[in-house]
Amino acid sequence: MNPTKQILLLSLQLLLTAILALFYAESNSSPLLWWCLLGSLAGVTGLLILSALHSRSQLQKLAAELRRAVNGNMKMRLLANEDHSWNEVLFTINELMEVLEQVQVEAARSQAARKTLLSSISHDIRTPLTSIIGYVDAIKDNIAGSDQEKQHYLDILSVKSKGLKVLIEDLFTMAKLDADELPLSPEAVDLAEIARETLIGFLPELDSQAMKLQLHIPEAPCMIMADRASLARIINNIIKNALLYGHEGGVLGVGLEDKHQDWELLIWDRGPGISQPELIHIFQRSYRGDQGRQAGHGGSGLGLAIAKALVQKNGGRIRVDSIPWEKTEFGLSFQKHDDSRQLRNS
C-alpha cells in the first residue's frame, strides 16, 4: 500500500478514536452512531493491519531475492507489481544488481588477464634467465675455446641481461600504473622536440636494419601539457614496437599534425601489420596475435599497454589503424597548450 494512504488511514483512525472518546463522555449519544463509528474504527484498523502484513510479505520476498543475489545469482532481477510504492525501491535494487554484475564480470576478466600475464611473464623471464645461466656456466667451465668465442658469449649475455632488465622495469611500471603510484609532473613541453630527441636514440638501429626514415615534424614548437619523462617513454615504446615488428617493410615514418585543438603524433611502418580482429586487443597486456606483434621477437608484451596507460594518464588519446604491408599507424593525440597565454598570466 502507498505510504500516503497508510498515513491517511492512520490519521482517520486517530480521528475516529477521538470522536469515540467524545461520544463516550456523552452518555446520551445515539447508539446507532456509536456503532457506526466503532465499525469504521475497526475497518480502518483492519486495513492498517492488512497493509502491515502486505509490507512484511514484500520485505520477506525482497530479502529472499537479495539472498539469492548474495549467493552468486547476479543475473536475478526483481519484478514490478501493482503496488507502485515498492516499484521505485525495486528499480533501484535492479540498477544496483546490474552494476554489481558488471563489477563481477570485470573482476573475473581482470583475474583471467592477470593469470595470463603471470604465465606469459614467467615464461619470458625463465627463457632468457636459463640462457644466461647456460652461457655463464659455459664460460666458467672453459667450454669456449678461444677468446673470440668467449667474447661472443659475453655479447650474448649482455643482450640477454639488458632484455631481462627491460622486462623487469616494464613489470614495475605496470604495477605502479595499476596501483596509481606513478607520479607525473605535467608541464608545458614541446611535443616535436621530445619526438626528435627520442628518435635520435633509434638512428643506429634504423641504420643497422636498413630502414628508411620519413620524418615530417614541424620546426615550430608544438606545445602540450604533459609529463616529459612519461611522454618520452610513450614515444619510445611505440617506435620500438614499429622497429621490432615492422622492419620488414623497410620504412619508419614519424609525423606531427595539427588537428585544430590537438597535436597528433603519427608513428607508422609498412610491415606485416595487425589483422582487424587483433586491433581491439593490441593494447592488452601480453596479447599475442597471429603476427606476434606485441609479445614475440624479444618484446616484453607490455610496451603498448604501458604506452596506452601513460597516454591516458597524461590526458591524451591513442589509436591504431593497420593495412598489412601498406601502413600500420599509431596516433597519439594531446590537447594543444597556449604557452604564450601562460606567460601573459605569469
- What cell does 231 get? 611522454
Bridge partners, residue 320, by sequence: 330
- Answer yes or no: is pLDDT of 6 > 60: no
330/346 Cα distance (integer angstroms): 36
Rounded average pLDDT over 101-127: 76
Alpha helices in the chain (DSSP H): 3-25, 31-70, 84-140, 147-178, 191-200, 203-208, 228-246, 276-279, 303-313, 339-345
Instruction: Tell me the C-alpha to C-alpha distance, in Å, between residue 273 and each of 48, 107, 284, 300.
Output: 73, 31, 17, 18
- Checking if the pLDDT of 345 tops 50, the result is no
Share of the chain above pLDDT 70, in %: 73
What is the pLDDT confidence band of residue 249, given thresholds at 50, 70 and 90? very high
Which residue is listed with cell 501493482? 82
Cβ neighbourhood burial of 188 (10 Å; 0-12, 13-18, 19+): middle
Phi, psi of 257 (to 5 degrees): -120, 150
| pLDDT attached to residue 8 | 58
Residue 219 predicted with pLDDT over 70: yes
pLDDT in tens, 144-180: 778 888 888 898 899 888 888 888 888 888 888 888 8
Output the nine-digit C-alpha cell for 12. 482517520
Mean pLDDT to the nearest integer, 196-222: 95
**Taking the complete model, does pTM exceed 0.75, yes or no?**
no
pLDDT of residue 170: 85
- pLDDT tens profile 82-107: 666 667 777 887 888 788 888 888 88
Tell me the mean pLDDT in the region 106-131. 77
Backbone torsion region of residue 139, taken as left when φ is above 0, otherwise alpha when ψ lies between -120 and 50, otherwise beta: alpha
Closest CA to 323 of 254, 268, 255: 268
Burial of 48 (0-12, 13-18, 19+ CB in 10 A): middle
Residues in Cβ contact with 112 at an 8 Å cutoff, skipping those fewer than 6 apart: none
Unique residue bearing C-alpha cell 590537447: 335
Q: What pLDDT sits at residue 145?
A: 74
In whole angstroms, give the CA distance from residue 181 to residue 309. Answer: 13
* Grid cell in block for residue 265: 603524433
Predicted local confidence at residue 340, as pLDDT: 45
CA 330 – CA 242 distance, rounded (Å): 9
What does the pLDDT read at residue 107? Answer: 80
| 189, β-bridge pairs | 224
Distance CA 203, CA 194 (A): 15
- Is residue 310 pLDDT above 80, yes or no? yes
Grid cell listed for 346? 605569469
Other beta carbons within 10 angstroms of residue 283's beta carbon come to 18
73: left (phi over 0), alpha (psi -120 to 50) or beta: beta
End-to-end CA distance of the chain: 65
* pLDDT attached to residue 41: 63
Residue 21: band (very low, low, confident or very high) from pLDDT cuts 50, 70, 90: low
Residue 323 phi/psi, 5-degree rounding, is: -120, 110
Of the two residues 342 and 110, the one the predictor is more confident about is 110
